[in-house]
Amino acid sequence: MALEVQPLAAFQAATVGLILWGSAQVAEATRGAVQSIPREQHEAASALGFGWVGRHVFVIVPQAVRRLLPPIVGLLVNVVQNTTIAAIIGVGELLETANRSSERLLFATGKPHLFSILLFVMALFFLVSFPLTRLAAYLEKRLL
């Protein structure tokens, strides 16, 4: 007897997987941003009388956020592009939906429409990804 995967269970699995992956990426980017702040900044804040919390809230984190924004925007681009992995586990994702629509149109009209549908999907990915990529490049130049 074959194990049948329910669509809701597949959606939940994709959601959990993407959340875990995204969380690990954000944690690593945050760690890198905080560690990139020079040690002298910690020492200067300590010399001014800040405790550990004050040092981080008023000195370290504001500087780290400026260094964190470009990688976070880049991560957002990756999340948008990597959701196609969800199709592997059965979620009705954009490329899978385009393929199914093409099959339905082929059956209904007798004419292949896969190229035009995939061209539309490509344009949609471009319209979402390109502005985010440009934003990441702008933030990297402006903030670093």
Summarised one tens digit per residue, pLDDT across range 61-116 is: 999 999 998 899 889 888 877 776 665 555 455 666 777 777 776 666 666 666 77
Can you give the C-alpha Rg of the chain in angstroms?
A: 22
pLDDT at site 44: 94
Inter-axis angle of helices 61-82 and 114-143, nearest 10: 170
Q: How confident is the model at residue 40 (pLDDT cuts 50, 70, 90)?
A: very high
